[in-house]
């Protein structure tokens, strides 16, 4: 036994040794070949690699696509989302734009080909196409958010590198220059921009240009802090360098932001996909219900069935839009330099007349309320453009509802003429023989209806026509039942006109469409109000970074706060516009424009700093209560994230609940009760 184990051990060792020798030989040759290829690439610099050839091909493809108007608009749509992440590098920006577009086109094509081959129903195909386009927008957002998160993570590492090199050199521009050499590509672009800002002969103007283009508040903070220290010098306090202290606070805010985004992204992950799932399951549910319950087919093809389908699509669309607003509150600032269609439409004379008639009078309470709503949601729209948007939305909803009811009447007419005629007592799945008889009955009904078109027949005249069509093969009782059924169909066809309640619903749809933009912005304001305490904490951190700096004034603090703010951006901009006319009046107006209690308390301290106290004394409690404030912020972050996640789950699962209960369960119960009532009436007649 020992000899057998020894033989196995020696055999295994021999195999391992031979494998190691072969691996060594392979790696040696591969390394030599790789070294030879690198040498040839250096010796022949004109010869491009496969990767370079691919990148050059994508650059040429971008140029070709830019010549086609529709593709040019599409590429510019993606480019606008990426431009702030690839600052000043046109080649890289075009490459990333084309790479993103090709990836998205490939995904859409891979999904569209099997769907087109598999799905034959036009309505289902349209719903899937809408879902595919929405998924395309989601994928674009995922790409952009991935780049934003990558830049934020690189910035966190960049802060540490700047701190390290500042300890070595003691000079801001040298520290940022050294850190830029070690940074990844995206961060290198912004590091080079900040170095150029600090070394430019017109540094203040160059700083303003960079602050306009910087993709996030933390890069703005780094550039501004570095400029202040470069111009006025660093200051040593009891806790060390003021620049490093401010840099640490800025890094702490960045860490909070990263953790918050990652946690919220994890909790909201997949909700947009769940909201779109009803678009995929509408047709399978309808096919299953129609297969096992024959009466459900007539329901789904009726006016009520089509109304429920379209209502489900509206619920899906609303859920998707609201989820986008929940998830995208903290994304990069919107680029508003593009031409807006609202501006173009307002340039038409008839549209200006409508806005003048339907919009509020200038200076009225309604106008002030709408302007305040637009400011609180950071909307780039002017009041006139907003009312153009409302008028267009209301008109489209009105026309869509009118077209819907007209189309539903045509569909109902088609259903009356071509739907299979099953027995009233049929439950469950129909047999092939019953299906064939139902189709034959529908054909017979159509022939009789065509013969009596334009006249008002009686039951006796229908019986005569039925006897001629059937050749006397059926009993009088069966023919009388057929005549009654045809009379019922004729009455249904006579009722195919727009009824008063349908006209009322059409007007109601126009009214809902007119107020839909206001409702969406009210929801945006609700989401932004949830962020108010979080933003006040960030603004207090900004004040804590700058309070100990020399030559720091209240106006400079307000400028920094405006750069960091999102929710309070509009009130701070208004305050800065009026600050030169009087600090006291401007700060008092700021409290009225943003009556959030923690923000008001902070503005009151700014009033003290503008009149009597130095800034560091007015905000001395920020340092003394720093530890408590950080713990409180953590708890508030948890509550805020859970609150937003709860809203997201409720909105994300609303379409699925509407699909299950509104499209399957409740219609099935209603149809079953109707069949039970018919069956009960027939039993009563038999008795």
Residues 535, 568: contact at Cβ < 8 Å? Answer: yes
Token code pair at residue 412: 């109902």
* 428 pLDDT higher than 60: no
* 388 pLDDT higher than 90: yes
Residue 107 CA to residue 116 CA, distance in Å, equals 14
Mean pLDDT for the chain overall: 79
What is the structure's pLDDT at 615? 84
For the stretch 139-184, pLDDT in tens is 777 777 788 888 899 999 999 999 999 988 888 999 999 999 988 8
For the stretch 481-540, pLDDT in tens is 778 788 878 877 777 777 888 889 899 999 999 999 998 888 888 877 777 888 888 888
What is the structure's pLDDT at 88? 61
Residue 408 CA to residue 9 CA, distance in Å, equals 81
**pLDDT range class, residue 392, cuts 50, 70, 90:** very high
* Segment 396-412 mean pLDDT: 85
The domains of the chain are located at 51-100, 341-522
What is the structure's pLDDT at 395? 93
DSSP code string of 19-61: HHHHHHHHHHHHHHHHHHHHHHHHH-TTSPPHHHHHHHHHHHH
Please give the backbone phi and psi of residue 11, each rounded to the nearest 5 degrees, phi first: -65, -40
- What does the longest C-alpha to C-alpha distance in the chain come to? 112
Closest alpha carbon to 146 in 106, 113, 103, 181: 103
* 346 pLDDT higher than 80: yes
Please give the backbone phi and psi of residue 399, each rounded to the nearest 5 degrees, phi first: -65, -40
Please work out, in degrees rounded to the nearest 5, the angle formed at the alpha carbon of residue 517 by the alpha carbons of 639 and 272.
50
For the stretch 8-55, pLDDT in tens is 544 555 555 555 545 545 544 444 444 444 444 544 555 556 777 887
Compute the radius of gyration of the chain from its Cα atoms: 35
For the stretch 207-217, pLDDT in tens is 888 888 788 88
Handedness of CA 325, 326, 330, 331 (dihedral sign): negative
Q: Which residues of 548-569 are buried (b: 16+ CB within 10 A; e: fewer)?
A: bbeebebbebbebbbbbbbbbb
* 285 pLDDT higher than 80: yes
Token code pair at residue 180: 């830029």
pTM for this entry:
0.67
- Lowest-confidence region among 96-100, 389-393, 464-468: 464-468
What is the structure's pLDDT at 336? 46
* 114 pLDDT higher than 60: yes
How many Cβ atoms are within 10 Å of 314's Cβ, its own excluded? 15
Token code pair at residue 200: 């430019």
pLDDT above 70 covers a percentage of the chain that reads 86
* Segment 96-109 mean pLDDT: 80
What is the structure's pLDDT at 429? 57
Residues 492, 416: contact at Cβ < 8 Å? Answer: yes
Residues 295, 675: contact at Cβ < 8 Å? Answer: yes
What is the structure's pLDDT at 390? 94
* 586 pLDDT higher than 80: yes
Determine the straight-line distance between the first and last CA of the chain, rounded to whole angstroms.
93
What is the structure's pLDDT at 490? 80
Residues 547, 242: contact at Cβ < 8 Å? Answer: no
Residues 434, 523: contact at Cβ < 8 Å? Answer: no
**pLDDT range class, residue 619, cuts 50, 70, 90:** confident
């Amino acid at each position: 036994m020992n000899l057998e184990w020894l033989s196995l051990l020696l055999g295994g060792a021999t195999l391992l040794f031979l494998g190691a020798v072969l691996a060594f030989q392979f790696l040696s040759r591969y390394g030599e070949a790789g070294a030879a290829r690198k040498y040839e690439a250096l010796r022949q610099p004109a010869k491009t690699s496969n990767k370079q050839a691919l990148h050059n091909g994508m650059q040429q493809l971008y140029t070709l696509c830019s010549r086609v108007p529709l593709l040019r608009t599409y590429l510019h749509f993606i480019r606008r989302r990426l431009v702030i992440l690839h600052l000043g590098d046109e080649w890289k920006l075009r490459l990333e734009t084309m790479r993103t577009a090709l990836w998205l086109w490939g995904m859409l094509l891979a999904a569209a080909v099997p769907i087109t081959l598999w799905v034959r129903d036009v309505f289902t195909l349209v719903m899937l196409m809408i879902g595919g386009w929405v998924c395309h927008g989601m994928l674009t957002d995922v790409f952009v958010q991935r780049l934003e998160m990558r830049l934020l993570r690189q910035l966190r590492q960049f802060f540490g590198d700047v701190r390290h090199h500042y300890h070595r050199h003691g000079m801001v521009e040298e520290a940022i220059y050294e850190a830029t050499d070690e940074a990844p590509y995206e961060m290198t672009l912004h590091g080079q921009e900040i170095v150029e800002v600090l070394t430019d002969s017109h540094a203040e103007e160059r700083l303003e240009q960079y602050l306009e283009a910087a993709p996030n508040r933390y890069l703005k903070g780094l550039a501004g802090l570095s400029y202040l220290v470069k111009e006025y010098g660093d200051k040593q306090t009891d806790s060390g360098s003021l620049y490093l202290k401010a840099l640490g606070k800025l890094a702490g805010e960045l860490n909070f932001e990263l953790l918050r985004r990652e946690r919220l992204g994890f909790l909201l992950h997949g909700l947009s996909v769940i909201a779109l799932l009803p678009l995929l399951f509408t047709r399978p549910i309808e096919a299953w219900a129609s297969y096992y319950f024959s009466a459900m087919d007539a329901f789904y093809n009726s006016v009520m069935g089509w109304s429920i389908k379209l209502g489900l699509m509206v619920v899906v669309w609303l859920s998707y839009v609201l989820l986008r607003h929940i998830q995208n509150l903290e994304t990069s600032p919107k680029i508003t330099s593009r031409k807006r269609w609202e501006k173009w439409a307002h340039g038409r004379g008839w549209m200006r007349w409508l806005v003048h008639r339907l919009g509020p009078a200038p200076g009225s309470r309604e106008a002030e309320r709408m302007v305040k709503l637009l400011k609180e949601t950071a909307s780039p729209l002017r009041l006139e453009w907003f009312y153009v948007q409302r008028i267009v939305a209301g008109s489209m909803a009105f026309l869509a509802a009118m077209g819907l009811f007209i189309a539903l009447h045509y569909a109902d007419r088609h259903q009356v003429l071509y739907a299979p005629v099953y027995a009233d007592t049929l439950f469950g799945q129909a047999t092939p023989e019953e299906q064939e008889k139902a189709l034959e009955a529908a054909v017979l009904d159509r022939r009789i209806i065509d013969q009596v078109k334009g006249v008002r027949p009686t039951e006796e005249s229908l019986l005569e026509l039925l006897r001629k069509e059937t050749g006397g093969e059926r009993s009088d009782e069966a023919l009388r039942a057929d005549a009654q059924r045809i009379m019922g169909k004729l009455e249904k066809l006579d009722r195919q006109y727009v009824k008063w309640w349908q006209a009322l619903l059409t007007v109601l749809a126009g009214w809902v469409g007119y107020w839909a933009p206001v409702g969406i912005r009210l929801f945006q304001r609700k989401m932004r109000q949830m962020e108010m305490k979080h933003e006040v904490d960030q603004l207090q951190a900004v004040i804590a970074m700058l309070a100990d700096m020399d030559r720091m004034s209240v106006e400079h603090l307000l400028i920094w706060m405006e750069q960091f703010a999102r929710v309070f951006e509009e009130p701070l901009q208004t305050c800065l516009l009026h600050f030169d006319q009087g600090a006291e009046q401007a700060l008092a107006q700021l409290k009225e424009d943003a009556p959030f209690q923690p923000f008001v308390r902070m503005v009151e301290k700014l009033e003290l700093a503008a009149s009597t106290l130095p800034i560091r004394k007015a905000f001395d409690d920020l340092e003394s209560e720093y530890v408590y404030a950080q713990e409180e912020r953590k708890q508030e972050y948890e509550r805020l994230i859970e609150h937003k996640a709860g809203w997201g789950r409720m909105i994300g699962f609303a379409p699925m609940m509407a699909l299950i209960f509104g499209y399957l369960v409740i219609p099935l119960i209603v149809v079953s009760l109707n069949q039970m009532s018919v069956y009960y009436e027939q039993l009563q007649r038999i008795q």
